[in-house]
Structure 1
Amino acid sequence: MDKLAILIPAYNEALTISKVVNDVKNVIREIPDSVIYVYDNNSKDNTSELAEKAGAVVRHEYAQGKGAVIRRMFREIDAEAYIMIDADDTYPVEAIPEMYKKIIDKHVDMVVGDRLSSTYFEENKRPFHNVGNSLVRTLINFLFKTNIRDILTGYRAFSYQFVKTFPVLSRGFEIETEMSIHATEKRMLVENQVISYRDRPEGSESKLNTYGDGFKVLKTVLNLYRGYHPFAFYSVFSFVSALIAVVSFVWRVLLPYSETYTVANFPTLIVSMIFLLISVITFFSGSILNSIQNNEKRNFELDLVRADERLKGLLNGKQ
């Protein structure tokens, strides 16, 4: 079992991977039993060869996508603390010791490298990425009542308990959103750490698709909100359906009936009853799913206890 595992997902990062690995090696010299893992995700250049030459343990994930890489990392590696950093040399490795201490000494479950509070908006040359980061941060903090200052950052530290209880569902770059919401909803201890950010060096290309990945992130946010807060999510549809039913019934059926004592608008009456039925169904669907979600929260607490026991067993075996 490692004391600290540095996790570096990499896809076609030959230009920067050697520098990132060497920089990380320099800052973790004082941390015993530290290992740098580079997971190559079907790179078409010599990323894996350069990483291995620089001193990293190189492994491969053949299912394409950052989410698939992180799933493999979390399943295969046991460590007291984990730090994930991108291979594009945009993050300062000097923050690693402090992030590590927060995991070990303060028992923080996830430390978020906060770019948006420092140099991100000055360094990043893609304006729609700036808008997207701000939009996603505002939306998530509003919906989930949290204060994570950089939702989409790839620079994070994790506890053993977080890694071994986090269900990786996403395949692509929306994985960071999933991590942030999972930690919030499971009441895990999260801290922000302000870090500097520098844009990619010339010749290095981002793998992000501004619009495609942006829509995937927003879709992930809505799906996770529906999953974690089903009653609130379905109550919106229940309320809207009930409002349509009441307004259409009163305006097109009840008021004319009070004057003529005949039901002249049968189609409207039928439609209003359908919307009323939809309102009732969505209300009780949300209630049932909310009960299931509460039960899942209780099961998750038991998963945390089991993760603690596994960690203690690994540490005792190591000693």
Structure 2
Amino acid sequence: MADKIAVLIPCYNESKSVGKVVQDMKAALPEATIYVYDNNSTDGTDQIARKAGAVVRYEHQQGKGNVIRSMFRDIDAQCYLMVDGDDTYPAEYAREMCDKVLNEGTDMVVGDRLSSTYFTENKRPFHNFGNSIVRGSINRLFHSGIKDIMTGYRAMSYQFVKTYPVLSKNFEIETEMTIHAIDKNMQVDNVIVDYRDRQEGSESKLNTYTDGFKVIRTIIRMYKDYRPMQFFSLIAAILFVLGTGFFIPIFMKYLNMGVVTKIPSLIVICFVILSAIICLFSGIILSTLVQQHKQNFEFQLQEVNMQYKRLFPEG
């Protein structure tokens, strides 16, 4: 059966807070179905969530990305509200976020923590720094204006959920979702939400350095995949400048003396410049494939819209 609003709560050992999150969401969105997907918790998270009134399901592959893949695959709804089970996001903004999807046709609503209380509430300075770096780099690389890239509080449309290919397995999933929405020209809105730090005794599952590195690696990978012309042109330019810089002294010496004295260096320089040319043409070819993929995506979106109309004839 399809839901009008599905609240999605991925959880791993959130027994201290998941009950309150479920109750708050039921109060804010009484018509919604609350889904808690337990990701191998060992502290009774599933029992507490079920007692609070949530529909509890299980994902045994560890990682937030794996949980979200199962959620998006299993559940049909007009609006999906994703929220973490750690009670850091107030439920009072849920209605506003869902209304933007249901009434204004927004594909993704981002719960923007960084414009409110995040930097004062969050006690992990490297997380603050990392969020700012990720936001700045993605907005520059992809020419967007999204205020919070890594927030776990989002409302999404059926069209977004059913056309989004989940590739990441862990916490880099939010970055991947954001870039997908930007690249596919979907309507994205920001709603400023308050943020509160975790309850005492509740531990974050995010490793500052390991997961931070994964997020940066995801940005680079997706920039290569979604903007291959810019990515490979940049590499080509760097290689060409390096090759030319080392070639000029050899060429000037040849003009003055009439002899090439550094044959091995010249061979290496030729390979560097050749690599630059290969990178440039790789970018051209891959950008053509990306454009073809975007065209195919538009046809896929039409099919998803037809499915949506069959599921929600009144929507």
TM-score normalised by the chain length of structure 1: 0.97
What SS class does the counterpart of residue 112 from structure 1 fall into?
Answer: strand
What SS class does the counterpart of residue 187 from structure 1 fall into?
Answer: coil
Q: 1 CA distance for matches of 2:118 and 2:254? A: 63
2:185 alignment counterpart:
187
Q: 2 CA distance for matches of 1:174 and 1:243? A: 34
What SS class does the counterpart of residue 192 from structure 1 fall into?
Answer: strand
Q: 1 CA distance for matches of 2:95 and 2:54? A: 18
Distance apart, 1:279 and its partner CA: 0.9
- Flag structure 1 segments of 5+ consecutive residues without an equivalent: none
Distance apart, 1:247 and its partner CA: 2.1
- Flag structure 2 segments of 5+ consecutive residues without an equivalent: none
1:17 alignment counterpart:
18
Distance apart, 1:245 and its partner CA: 2.0
Q: 1 CA distance for matches of 2:269 and 2:189? A: 49
What SS class does the counterpart of residue 263 from structure 1 fall into?
Answer: coil
Q: 2 CA distance for matches of 1:86 and 1:167? A: 21
Q: 2 CA distance for matches of 1:22 and 1:256? A: 78
Q: 2 CA distance for matches of 1:192 and 1:183? A: 13
2:309 alignment counterpart:
312
Q: 2 CA distance for matches of 1:163 and 1:220? A: 20
Identity of aligned residues (%): 53
- Mapping for residues 108-119 of structure 1, pairs under 5 Å: 108-119=106-117
- Mapping for residues 63-102 of structure 1, pairs under 5 Å: 63-102=61-100
2:133 alignment counterpart:
135
Distance apart, 1:237 and its partner CA: 1.3
Q: Does 1:28 align with 2:21?
A: no
1:140-162, Cα deviation, whole Å (9 max, x unpaired) = 11111101101110000000000
Q: 2 CA distance for matches of 1:9 and 1:55? A: 15
Question: For residue 235 of structure 1, what is the amino acid of its counterpart?
Answer: S
Q: 2 CA distance for matches of 1:262 and 1:127? A: 59
Q: 2 CA distance for matches of 1:60 and 1:264? A: 69
Q: 2 CA distance for matches of 1:268 and 1:249? A: 9
Distance apart, 1:241 and its partner CA: 1.4
What SS class does the counterpart of residue 6 from structure 1 fall into?
Answer: strand
Q: 1 CA distance for matches of 2:11 and 2:59? A: 10
2:243 alignment counterpart:
245
Distance apart, 1:269 and its partner CA: 1.5
- Mapping for residues 295-306 of structure 1, pairs under 5 Å: 295-306=292-303
Question: For residue 29 of structure 2, what is the amino acid of its counterpart?
Answer: I
2:150 alignment counterpart:
152
What SS class does the counterpart of residue 64 from structure 1 fall into?
Answer: coil
Q: 2 CA distance for matches of 1:246 and 1:197? A: 51
2:4 alignment counterpart:
3
TM-score normalised by the chain length of structure 2: 0.98
Please give the root-mean-square deviation of Cα atoms over the aligned residues, in Å. 1.1
